Structure 1
Amino acid sequence: MTNHSRQPRRVRDLGIVVGPLRTGPLNAITDVPGVRVGHTTIVDPPRLHTGVTAIVPDALEQGRGSLPCGLFVGNGFGKLIGATQVAELGAVETPILLTATLSAFRAADALVTHVLAGPGHEDTRTLNPVVGETNDGRLSDIRARPITEAHVLAALDGATSDLPGEGCVGAGTGTMALGFKGGIGTSSRVVGGWTVGVLVQSNFSGTLTVRGVPIRADDGGARPAPAGAPAADGAEPAANGLQPEGNSCMIVIATDAPLDARQLGRVARRAVFAMARVGSDFAGGSGDYALAFGTPGAPSSGGVDDGDLDPVFAATMDAVEEALLNSLFMATTTVGHRGTATAVPHTLVLDRLRAAGVLPQPSATGPVS
C-alpha cells in the first residue's frame, strides 16, 4: 500500500536533477538579487484551502516607477489582472500577486492600497496592479472568496529573500496538477554571470512526466477521483486522477540579465513551453501565463544580443521544469471541499525512474527515499 503521508522533498534532494546548469544558492526565485516572496495560507479543512503569494521586487518598493516585463499567454482562459498594460508598455509597476480565481479582484484592490501607501506614491493617480490566479475550486470553497485585504498585506509585508515555502502554501494551498496535489514551486539557474529565478503556481491537467517518464495517478497506488465525482465543465473524472476545477498555471520569472521587455517576452514564451516537459496537455480551458521581469541589479555593460539569448532560454526552461516538479513533490495529500488530491508518491516515482534507467539503482548503503 502506498504511503501518502511521506515527507515533502524537493526533487533535487531526491536525486532528480533537471539540466546541466548550476542553481543559485537557494535554488529559488529569491536567488535573483532584490526579489522577495511572501505567503499567506488559509486552511479551514475541509472547506477552505487557499491563500495569497506575493513576488516583491525591492526596486519597486524603493520608489522605482517600473521594471521591464514581458508577458506570454499560452492560453488565455484566465483572469490575469493588469495584463493588457504589461503587454502594451512592457513594464510592471507593482509587486505580482497570485491567488484563487474569484479572489483575484479583492487581491488587486488590496495591492493598490499597499502601493499607494508606499513612498513616492503620494500623488499617484493611476496604477496597474498585476494579479494572477488559478482555480482552486475542487479543494476550497472558491465562492466564499475568503481573501481579505489583511491577507494580501500580510503576504506583501512578510515577503523575504529566504527560500520560499513550496507545495501547499499561499496561492498553491488548494491547487492540483497532473492528477496529483499541486502548489507553489520555485527554482533558479545561473548562466553567464546572471541568475534566472522562477516561481510557479501549478493547477493544470495532463499526465505527470518526470525526466521523460510518465507517472499516472491511477498507476501505483495514488488515489483516483471518487466514483461519480463531478469534473470541470461537466466532464467525467479523468482516468489519471482528480483533475483541477479549472486548468491553469501561473509562471513568474525574475532575472538580473540586462534584457529589454521584448526579450523578456521571449523568455516568458519559453517558460510556457517548459510545461510540456512535465506532461501538460494544454487544455482549452486552461489559463497558462508567464510573466518575466528584469531587476536593476543587471551589469551596466549594455544589453544582450538576441543571438546570445539561447543560454538564458535554456536556463528558463530548466528552472521552470524543476519548479513545476517541486510544486508537486513538496505538496501533501489534501482532503478538500469537493474531493481529495493525493500527493505524488516519491518512492513510486524513483522506482519508475530507476527502471527506465534515468536514475541509478540505489546502493545497499544509500539513502532511503
Structure 2
Amino acid sequence: MERKKIRDLGIVVGQLPPGPKNCLTDVQGVRVGHVTLHHPLANADNEWACTGVTAILPHEENIFQNKVVAASYVFNGFGKSTGLVQMNELGRLESPIMLTNTFSIPAVTQGTLEYLLEQNPEIGETTGTANIVVGECNDSYLNSIRMMSVKPEHAKEAIRIASTDKAMEGAVGAGTGMVCFGYKGGIGCSSRLVVDDGEQGVYTIGCLVLSNFGTQDELYSYNRFIDTEKKRRVENNNEDAQTDGSIMIVLATDAPVNERQLQRMAKRCGIGLGRTGSHMSHGSGDIVMAFSTSQTFPHFSSDRLEQQFLFREDKRMMNMLFCAAAEATEEAILNSLTRAKTTIGRKGREVEEFPLDLLKL
C-alpha cells in the first residue's frame, strides 16, 4: 500500500499554504526524474545495488544556453559535492542538479557532462567548459557502494525522464538506500505559496531533500509531532546504521531574487532541518543548492549590460520567503520518512519504514 505525505495524515507543518502538488515541481517548469537500482548483484555474495540517481532540471529549455540564478550554502561540509564553487562564484546554474551516492559522483558527473555535450557541441570548442552540479549522501549500509553500480547512462536516463509531474518520494532514485533517524529515509518534497500583497502576485517555493542523517534519539527529541511515549527502537537497525549521515536540500523558487538573496533563503533551510531534531553532526554533509526560475540569462550575448529584477529586502516579501524555505524543508524531511517503505539491501540488512503510529494524529 502506498504511504502518504505527512499532511495527508492530518499533520500541518507551518502556517503558509502548500502548492497544489506540495512538491518541488510546483515551481513552474521545474522537472524531477529518478532512476532506481534495487537488485542483488550477480556473482557477488549477498551484495546489492540499493541506490540510484535523481535529476532536477530548472526549466524545459537548454540549461547551458539559458542559465538561472543559483547559489549554495554549506552548513557542515562533510560532503563530496561537485560544482558548488563555481556556482557560488558566478551565481548561475548551467546544468541539471544531480543527486546520488558518494562513490557515484564521478559516474553521474560524466553522464551529466555527456548530456550537455550532446546538446551543446560548442562546449570545449568555441566556448568554455561546463559546470556540473552533483550532490551525494552515503548509502553504504544498504547499498554495496564499493561495487559502483551507478553508471553514466543512469544519469542521462534520469535527466531524460524528468517531468513536471508530482515527484516520487521515499526509497526512489538517489534515496533508494538512505537511512534517516534510524528509519528508512530518502526523497521528500514540499512547497509553499507566498502572496505578494503589493503586486497581487503569488510566488512558489519548492523543496526536495535527500535525507540520510540523524539518530532515533534526535528524532524523539522532536516532540511537536512525535508521541515520545510510544517511542521504540527498530531491532533490525543495528549500530552501523546510526551514522552521522548527510542531507542534500534543493530549493527552487520563481520569486525574483539574485544569488545573494537566494543564499540567504538557503540558510533558512537550516531552520527546517533543525526543527526535525538534527544538530548537524561532525560527519554529516548538510548542503543546500538553490535556484530561481524568475528569469534566464543567455550564455551568448553581445550586450555589455544585463538587467535583473529582484525584491527589495526591506519589504515583507523577503521575510515570507525565508519562512517558506524553513517550512518547506521541515515538511520535505518528514515526507521523506512517511513516504519511504521498508527496504532490504546488502548482507540481508533491512531498514524499516517509519511507524506512523508514532505521530500525534
Q: Please indicate the TM-score interval, normalised by the length of the shorter structure.
A: 0.7 to 0.9
Match of 2:231 in 1: 219
Between the two proteins, the alignment pairs up a number of residues equal to 331
Separation of aligned partners in 1, 2:113 and 2:157: 14
1:86 maps to a residue whose letter is M
Which stretches in structure 1 are left out of the alignment for 5+ residues?
Answer: 1-5, 232-241, 354-358, 360-369
Determine what percentage of the aligned residue pairs are the same residue.
40
Separation of aligned partners in 2, 1:189 and 1:297: 20
Match of 1:264 in 2: 262
Contact 1:29/1:186 (<8 A) preserved: yes
1:222 maps to a residue whose letter is V
1:325 maps to a residue whose letter is L
Q: Closer, same or farther in 2 for the Cα pair 1:304/1:100, shift >3 Å?
A: same
Q: Closer, same or farther in 2 for the Cα pair 1:74/1:177, shift >3 Å?
A: same
Contact 2:247/2:287 (<8 A) preserved: yes
Contact 1:18/1:211 (<8 A) preserved: no
Q: How far did residue 105 of structure 1 move?
A: 1.3
Contact 1:272/1:289 (<8 A) preserved: no
Q: Closer, same or farther in 2 for the Cα pair 1:208/1:124, shift >3 Å?
A: farther
Q: How far did residue 119 of structure 1 move?
A: 4.6
Task: Note the aligned Cα RMSD (angstroms).
Answer: 2.3
Contact 1:48/1:141 (<8 A) preserved: yes
Separation of aligned partners in 1, 2:323 and 2:142: 34
Q: How far did residue 217 of structure 1 move?
A: 12
Correspondence 1:297-308 to 2 at 5 A: 302-308=309-315
Match of 1:319 in 2: 328
Q: How far did residue 65 of structure 1 move?
A: 3.8
Mapped pair 1:243 → 2:242: yes
Deviates more, 1:27-36 or 1:329-338: 329-338
Which stretches in structure 2 are left out of the alignment for 5+ residues?
Answer: 41-46, 196-201, 297-306
Match of 1:356 in 2: none
Contact 2:54/2:98 (<8 A) preserved: yes
Q: Closer, same or farther in 2 for the Cα pair 1:121/1:16, shift >3 Å?
A: farther
Contact 2:64/2:94 (<8 A) preserved: no
Match of 1:239 in 2: none
Separation of aligned partners in 1, 2:237 and 2:261: 42
Correspondence 1:86-165 to 2 at 5 A: 86-119=87-120, 121=122, 123-165=126-168
Cα deviation digits, residues 219-266 of structure 1 (max 9, x gap): 33633534xx5x3xxxxxxxxxx324x510000001000000000000
Contact 2:69/2:259 (<8 A) preserved: yes
Contact 1:222/1:344 (<8 A) preserved: no
1:19 maps to a residue whose letter is G
Separation of aligned partners in 1, 2:16 and 2:308: 23
Q: Closer, same or farther in 2 for the Cα pair 1:14/1:59, shift >3 Å?
A: same
Q: How far did residue 281 of structure 1 move?
A: 2.8
TM-score, length-normalised on structure 1? 0.84
For 1:61, what is the secondary structure of its paired residue?
coil
Contact 2:109/2:152 (<8 A) preserved: no
